Structure 1
Amino acid sequence: MNPDLRAIARLRGEPGFDEAVLATSFGEEDPGVRPHALVRARSAADVSLAVLWARGRNWKVACCSGGHAWSQNHIRDGGLLIDLSALDGIAIDPVKRSAEVGPGCVSGDLDAALSPHGLFFPVAHAFSVGMGGFLLQGGFGWNSRMVGLGCDNVTGADVVLADGMLIHANHAQNEDVFWALRGSGTGFFGIVTKYYLALHKRPGFTGIKMQVFRLRHLEKVVRWANEIGPQISSQVEFQMVVNRRAFGIFSHGIEIVTPVLAESRPEAKELVAFIDNGPLRPAASLTLPLIGAPLGSIMKVAEKIIFPTGTRWHADNVWLDGPVEQVIPVLREAAETQPGAPSHILWLNWNPAPRARDAMAFSIEARTYLAFYGGLRGKKWQPSDRDWATKAAGSLMTNSVGSQLADENLLRRPARVLSEPNLSRLEALRTQYDPARRFFSFGGN
């Protein structure tokens, strides 16, 4: 082994190896499998060396950046795991409104670096999500209904391929690789070591509006959410969260959570007025005023409450376009069988704007995004709780247009995550760029 590589490599069986592998995952679940080795890369050169080392031993390769993949898809049986978390650099050009970031850069740090310049990027909603996996799978971030997905705002990337070569990919060079790295997620046939991003003017006001209902109102709240979704401004993220310890009532309920990013507080207040003026307000247990707060603070608080550390996570999701009446019975059953907090159900009125997306692998979205997050803590849970999210999502398979790679669980439930033409193109490119299938791909592949 190259001496430079040995300094950053751990082999299975060495002291501390298991702990180092499990530390690459945000969740506390032990998947029960281990790679042959783990490399914590410090540079693109380290990634190239590691890929060549794996190639010489005929090992497959997986990688991770922030470790927020609920399915822990990066921890495989055998092969090499490359940890990219140390590649966390951030370089900002305020004049050109552009940035260069490493895959290990976390969303909250990037947002904090952009704020003093009055700039903005649609980073992930949770503070500690690494940009690597977030951008590969599409990047549903803050204000994405307004400024586009994270991958819509990627202008280029540095990539290590299966032969260990480091290339740059953008619209003008290595266009096929550039197409693939925007939306293929764990199906990508390379490792991104740096992203080049287009930035936006930062909204002048960031705030959040909440309304809480008891669970008995679930059906009428869902119908209202489904009806009003297309009318809501793209500057507002209308979310419905089913939580066993809903805010303010500390019992099973429905939280209407509406972050809003606008130019001013008066504008934001007008954009979320539909909540105060809605027909269901008399049934609400509480309706809070619009609360302004820095985006970074919202991210930290939300992550601490909704996605606390020390939790075994099992998630799954579906994209829905069909009649809401077909969804309500599944939602009701999912709520009734929902494990204890922090398990929750997320309904997002995505309602994508009629835009012509740039050519990219990302290809599935719909009117409604419905995700199930099973969060198991301590010893007060049943083995069947591990299957709650996948069972609920599976019940909607016939109504779904597919799943989103951010919250999928392909290791348990195969699902469509790309359109058929895009999946076919991706597999053809994999044959071209990774004929030996050096990199692990979707699910068990």
Structure 2
Amino acid sequence: MAFREFDSVQVSRRSLFRSTAYLAAGGAIATLPFGAELLARVETSAWPNLASTIDSYVSAGKVANMVAVIGSGQDSPQKIAQGGQGFGRSSAPAGLDTLYRIYSMTKPITGMAAMICIEDGLMSLDQPVADFLPGFANMRVLKQADGPLDQTVPAERPITIRNLLTHTAGLGYDIITKGPLLKAYQASGIVGGQVSRIPIPGFTNAKPAPGLKVWADRLAKLPLIAQPGAKWSYSVGLDLMGRVIEVATGQTLDAFLQQRIFEPCGMDSSWFQVPESEAHRLSDNYGILNGVPLPIDVASSSVYLDRPPIIWGGSGLVCSPRDYDRFLEMVLGYGRINGRRVMSETAVRVGTSNILPEGADLSGSFVAGQGFGAGARVADGTYGWGGAAGTLGMADFGNGIRAGLFTQFMPAEAYPVTRDFRAALIKDLQVRAHG
């Protein structure tokens, strides 16, 4: 059995999320005196603080729309939604079936796909990536992360599947890498996603490599920024994981996700390319300039209507709130949804536990003092991640709660949406618990 060594794994509950983390609600919620039964009987209208927070953003014109989704166990989700799919558009109001660019919320889905592959015996957590992609054998590591590309030392150990899932492979990211390596990434088309068909100031506008295989081959020729397993550094690790999945399964990543996760979970509105027939459901995306939202990817001409040059397992999906809630429901159900088993309970337990390499340095990162699982943060029984356009999703195993927030603006730090969402959610739950 692929998971024999993890039979006794326990979900990590060693720390609370910090104030800057998307999922700090998970740790705070776990301290409240109520169970999932309370959430199950609460109506959407009983979330006044969440409703007020959403209204404060939409009515002030900061965002075109905002949708919050809260669920208990495997019950149907509740929603709070306000606004239309774009400023000045006559389209339908935003809701559970509106389509959102979820960017890095793709990472947990790819992470769970990797756990399915491990469950199937196609790979193991500590297996070298070079077993699937030989170009990643004998990697070199920069002496300084932002230093010259010819000043390197040999990698002390191979990059493993665990490293890719936990951002400890020593890989970079075009959104955070600096110096000569960033220029080399851009010249090689090692970009981590797409924003618009037109160049947008402040965003990476380098031309992506022509396909995931070429992308991975070019990445293998560039040095690492840290020794594998030594340091947490946000990276293209989940994108590379997508290529490993392709080699291990003999399927394209999008085909594998469709067959093993989307179809069995009932996720019929999750795509790397939005069908033309569904473009009317896509929310416009906005860039925030001096507090003013400006359109950077309008639904009718969105880059997501095109076949993407790369199937990005770390950032590429467009998804509805209803679909992502179904994914979280499956995870929260330890692999089961609607009476159907999508993946084994052990696979979920391992993927949502702290699988960081022993001794990995997290200092200075935004996961310092926390754990990390298959593509997402884990702490105090909560698993989840956020996206670059203001979205987030989490599953709280301690209380059987799943929660998501969906809107569209970039950069995500332009507004303190996740902080405000967290505070409002906790306040509403505290009122209900003591009411």
Q: Work out whether the TM-score is over 0.5.
A: no
Instruction: Compute the TM-score of the two structures, normalised by the length of structure 1.
Output: 0.26
**Which has a greater percent of strand?**
1
Which structure has more relative contact order (CA 8 Å, sep 6+)? It is: 2
Instruction: Compute the TM-score of the two structures, normalised by the length of structure 2.
Output: 0.27
